[in-house]
Structure 1
Amino acid sequence: MNHKARLQALRSKLALSSTRALLLTHGPDVRYLSGFTGSNAVLLVFARSTVLLTDGRYTTQARQETAGSGARVVIGKRLASEACVLLLRAGVTSVAYDSNHTTVAALSRFEAALPESHGKVARRRFFSPMADSPVASLRQVKDSEELQGMAEAAAVGCQIFEDVLHHLAAGVAEREIAAELEYAARRRGAEGMSFDTIVASGRRSALPHGHASAQPLPRRGFVTMDFGVILGGYCSDMTRTVYMGKPTREEKSAYQAVLEAEQAGIEAVRAGVTGASVDAASRAVLRRAGLANYFSHSTGHGVGLEIHEGPRLAAKSEDVLAEGMVVTVEPGVYLPERFGIRIEDMVVVEATGARVLTFSPKELLML
């Protein structure tokens, strides 16, 4: 990963807002800019230099992972104090921080670490909140290396779906299916799951986020599986819904409507459109099928080092899609106490359309 280029792109953004220094503590941001994957770090980005502060547990790891990034590694015990010393030595009078990922407790530690001569008001002014993180916007657009890694993560997700199909049988607990997915992911080289695996069957399939329970799979009914893996730090995300037994005409019709809504959403994805327009494309199909009132969430979201990133594909989203973004398209319908269906793919935004990364079949599987 070209961390130097990412840092330079960030500095260009900071210069536009006359920001002389940026303080980052959010793990995925630190990793994106420096390569460091440890759990305790502060990254200080100045106009001409970068400093990574961490504790003694990560001395060797930090130096190995940040090699080539241009970041200087500083090992300390009290990172807030060490960071403030470096900021004051650099002569900055104010440092920006990402207010979306800096807790009140963390900010209080940094403020308390400033010399008493600053006074309470001056301490608060020293740390300047930045609500629209320039790092978040950089992370939304993936480079070729990131896209390759995410394609590999998506491929593992598709493979483990195939691995688990023969485990689906009436009477098997949802948690057992989730466990099989997670075991298959590890066996195929994943570092872990990108979120808590969702397996929801029968009436529970009407729960959009129905985490796997002890409920046994039914002899007849839908089974929704929403899962993803982490590979090389990057997440995948995919949902498939299958049917145990033989579906009714209504169930087949609802499944076909969701499938067509998902395809319409994918076809709407391309550089230059808004997230709202993609959402509208999927929602229009369900409206024509009389199912729009049962679609209770947004159509999709960005994916990367985190499972939920920008842009948002939602009814009021003004986020504009750009080439290199990776987003999900995941319409669903949920009829309370009856059944639910969701189909989700992960796609790359390109100039004239979308490239689908998740290649598992989507025709209704009847088991």
Structure 2
Amino acid sequence: MAGAKLDALLVSHSANVRYLSGFTGSNGLVLMLVDRAILFTDPRYKIQASSEVDCRVQVVRGPLLPHVLAVIKRLRARRLGFENNRVSFEAYQFLKEHLPLKTALDPVAGWVEEQRMIKSDDEIDHIRRSVDLNSAAFERAVTRLRPDMRESELAAELDYRMRRLGAEGPAFETIVASGPRTAWPHARPSSDKLRGNALVLVDMGANLDGYASDMTRMLFVGRPGARVKRTYGAVLEAQLAAIDAVRAGVTAESVDRAARRVLRSHKLDRAFVHSTGHGLGLEIHEPPRLGKKDKVTLQAGMAITVEPGVYLEGFAGIRIEDTVVVTSNGCRVLTPTSKDLRVI
């Protein structure tokens, strides 16, 4: 804050509140001052906050912002930073209308997220355990897969297995799609039955102790034909090339470029319609993004996904995704699940 000449920083995004204070409740604000921090929450979380948080906790009744502003006024803060990409318009208007005239409101989008990009050893261990649990849930659910099962049934089985193994729940809505619907990158599970002689795409992640994992694997119900095998091989080649490109010091766009170069050699690059990956941690999608124009330099300790895919309307979509940790000389793949096309 000193570098930006701020007297205080108001943090409102729940993942950032948790990162800075340890508080996991649904209603909390952190006011960062030069020499201390204060967590504001309501009476529902009094006991919880006292056991989770090591900074000062101020339990208040009613909306939190008026109590934050009371502290700002008492301290005579001249410059208050706020997360302009996270705060609601209503909260912004309230701040503008009720701050003292001599207090400037400064937008500071992405400050905490930038700190969160580099994971501590403890955070990496949390992510690794989430990845392991996610893979174990996948293995257990797949053994119960039946050709007449509905997409929604398989999704429910995957979520159930995550919770049985100790997850707080899925890190995002589990994706299960069969046949031509695999060409929808973010298809929601439907009531359709898994098709015979068709691909099944499963994209799933667990939330364990607050940390997310993310994995995509492909199944085939029946006997895959030559085109399926050829396309799957191309995507796998692209994914391995992208993983090989990951290391501290390279740009995010260079990893994306490595995947696209392979798909271009197979004349599939135009069917790759999203970025190659993203960061993850307390949220399923965090910086950095690994896209065509993303110039962020990768650093050791970043946890990212590598997930190229191709989506061919009327035929199928194929995506392969792992969670990896950037190291000084490469990366460590956390996902233990085989990347072979699994035939059911």
Determine which of 1, 11, 17 is the counterpart of 1:30: 17
Distance in 1 separating the partners of 2:39 and 2:271: 48
TM-score after normalising by structure 1: 0.92
Residue identity (%)? 44
* Alignment root-mean-square deviation, CA: 1.1
Q: Structure 2 regions of 5+ residues with no counterpart?
A: none
Query: Does residue 36 of structure 2 align to residue 49 of structure 1?
Result: yes
Query: Does residue 87 of structure 2 align to residue 102 of structure 1?
Result: yes
Determine which of 93, 106, 111 is the counterpart of 2:96: 111
Q: CA offset at residue 55 of structure 1?
A: 0.6
* 1:272 alignment partner in structure 2: 249
Query: Does residue 60 of structure 2 align to residue 76 of structure 1?
Result: yes
Q: CA offset at residue 211 of structure 1?
A: 1.1
Give CA deviations for 1:123-142 in whole Å, capped at 9, x if unaligned. Answer: xx6321113x2211110100
Q: CA offset at residue 103 of structure 1?
A: 1.3
Give CA deviations for 1:2-60 in whole Å, capped at 9, x if unaligned. Answer: xxxxxxxxxxxx22222221001110000001000111111000100111110111111
Distance in 2 separating the partners of 1:173 and 1:140: 38
TM-score after normalising by structure 2: 0.98
Distance in 2 separating the partners of 1:180 and 1:203: 22
Q: CA offset at residue 346 of structure 1?
A: 0.3
The structure with the greater share of residues assigned to helix is 1
* 1:3 alignment partner in structure 2: none
Determine which of 210, 226, 232 is the counterpart of 1:255: 232
Query: Alignment length, in residue pairs?
Result: 343
Distance in 2 separating the partners of 1:317 and 1:202: 32
Indicate if the aligned counterparts of 2:198 and 2:222 stay in contact, CA closer than 8 A: yes
Give CA deviations for 1:163-198 in whole Å, capped at 9, x if unaligned. Answer: 111222222100000000000000000001110100
Give CA deviations for 1:231-289 in whole Å, capped at 9, x if unaligned. Answer: 01000000001111111111100000001110001110000111100000011111101
* 1:212 alignment partner in structure 2: 189
Q: CA offset at residue 366 of structure 1?
A: 1.0
Runs of 4+ in 1 over 4 A off after TM superposition: none
Q: 1:189 aligns to what SS in structure 2?
A: coil
Indicate if the aligned counterparts of 1:80 and 1:113 stay in contact, CA closer than 8 A: no
* 1:351 alignment partner in structure 2: 328
Q: Structure 1 regions of 5+ residues with no counterpart?
A: 1-13
* 1:5 alignment partner in structure 2: none
Give CA deviations for 1:63-102 in whole Å, capped at 9, x if unaligned. Answer: 11003xxx11101123111000101111211200011111
Determine which of 147, 151, 171 is the counterpart of 2:124: 147
Determine which of 336, 339, 343 is the counterpart of 1:362: 339
Distance in 2 separating the partners of 1:110 and 1:155: 44
Q: 1:19 aligns to what SS in structure 2?
A: coil
Query: Does residue 290 of structure 2 align to residue 317 of structure 1?
Result: no
* 2:133 alignment partner in structure 1: 156
